[in-house]
Amino acid sequence: MMSVGLEHYLVLSAVLFSIGLYGVLAKRNAVVILMCIEIMLNAVNIALVAFSRYVVPMFLTGQIFAIFVMVVAAAEAAVGIAIIIAIYRSRQSVDVNKFDLMKW
Amino acid sequence: MFDIVFWILALVTVSAALAVVILRDVFRAALSLVLLFLAIAGIYITLYADFLAVVQVLIYVGAISILIIVAIMLTREVWHGSPAGKLRIPALVVSLLLLGTMVFTVISTNWETSGEPPLQPTTAAIGTSLFGEGGFILPVEITAVLLLAAVLGAIVLIREK
């Protein structure tokens, strides 16, 4: 078994990102879609930290980028859940197929 | 040592992510999302990112998963489950194509890795480059404005008319 390197972390990150993308495209429950977006953001973070560890180990630029991604993810989760609850109040549903307010 | 830990954590991560996508019970999906976040904190530890691992546990396991579980309870859609929509097969094809492309690119690229030992512990160095001279102080301040806007936006959206 070869020793774990940068490629392993990048492939793991790609697998997680694809699973999240499938969930975002295929699911109908808006809360589950938000959860899948969190999976995708975490996958990107793994790639950033792996690059930081293996390509420039003496600088922490990748980890600092990951911190900014986390902050934006927290803001996105708060606003996303507020939007979902606001729509649920008027539509009594979180099914994205019924979110057609902006259709012409 | 880290190799075995990495393989175990990778297995846990991928199966938890698959459970989030496959499970029909929304609440169980949220619980496996918590497991996924914890396993990713372990992956950060194998990458010598100790500060990020703690931040991951604090923000994701502590705050975001609670927010998601509260949203599930407020919207009373647990009994409807999370069925897949009409676009299931095209979504599967698109994500498999993307996965194939990314894995092919990662494997066929010759990455210039550095053999230097990683910096540890990272907390003081991260603080210096975030707030120190010539560091990331402007993005930090913009992030503060972004957080304020997000909090205000969430309050305005969710307020009773």
Of A9-13, A38-42, B128-132, least confident by mean pLDDT is B128-132
Mark yes or no for CB contact B60/A70 under 8 Å.
yes
pLDDT of residue B79: 62
User: The pTM is what?
Assistant: 0.91
In a domain, B60, yes or no: yes
Mean pLDDT over the full length of chain A: 89
Q: Do B19 and B80 belong to one domain?
A: yes
In a domain, B141, yes or no: yes
Question: Residue B30 domain-assigned?
Answer: yes
ipTM of the complex: 0.91
Asked if B78 and B155 sit in the same domain, the reply is: no
A-proximal residues of B, 79-108, CB under 8 Å: 80-85, 87-88, 90-92, 94-96, 98-99, 102-103, 106-107
Is residue B152 less than 8 Å (CB to CB) from chain A?
no
Residue A104 within a domain: no
Q: Is residue B76 left, alpha or beta, with left meaning phi > 0 and alpha meaning psi from -120 to 50? A: left
Q: Is residue A102 part of a domain?
A: no
My answer on whether B4 and B33 are in the same domain is yes
Query: Is residue B64 within 8 Å of A35, Cβ to Cβ?
Result: no
The answer to whether residue B73 sits within a structural domain is yes
**Is A56 inside a domain boundary?**
yes
Q: Is B74 contained in some domain?
A: yes
| One domain, residues B84 and B139 | no
Q: Which of A99, A27, A8, A48 is nearest to B20 (CA)?
A: A27
Full residue range of the structural domain in which residue B39 is found: 1-100
Given B66, B100, B134, which residue is the final one in a domain?
B100
pLDDT at A104 over 80: no
Q: Which residues of A touch B64 (CB under 8 A)?
A: 38, 73-74, 77
Q: What is the pLDDT of residues B69-87, one digit of tens each?
A: 998 888 876 566 667 777 8
Whether the CB of B118 is below 8 Å from some CB of chain A: the reply is yes
SS3 annotation, B76-119: CCHHHCCCECCCHHHHHHHHHHHHHHHHHHHHHCCCCCCCCCCC
Do A66 and A45 contact (CB within 8 A), yes or no?
Answer: yes
Q: Do A8 and B10 touch (CB under 8 A)?
A: yes
CATH number, residue A23: 1.10.287.3510
Residue in this structure with the two tokens 């609670």, named with its chain if needed: B66
Ranges A31-40, A47-56, B45-54, B118-127: which has the least confidence: B118-127
Pair (B67, B141) in one structural domain: no
Q: Which domain holds residue A47?
A: 6-95
pLDDT reported for residue A1: 53
Q: How many domains does chain A have?
A: 1
Contacts of B81 (CB under 8 A, 6+ apart): A29, B24, B25, B26
Do residues B46 and B125 share a domain?
no
Angle at B12 between CA B61 and CA B105, to 5 degrees: 105
| Tokens representing residue B23 in the block | 């499970």
Last residue of a domain, one of B100, B132, B149: B100
Say if the Cβ atoms of B113 and A6 lie within 8 Å.
Answer: yes
B10 and B56 within one domain: yes
Instruction: Give yes or no: residues B92 and B40 share one domain.
Output: yes
Domain count, chain B: 2
Question: CA-CA distance, B65 to A77, in Å (whole number)?
Answer: 10
A79 falls within a domain: yes
Residue B125 lies in a domain: yes
CATH number at residue B43: 1.20.120.1200
Q: Is residue A101 part of a domain?
A: no
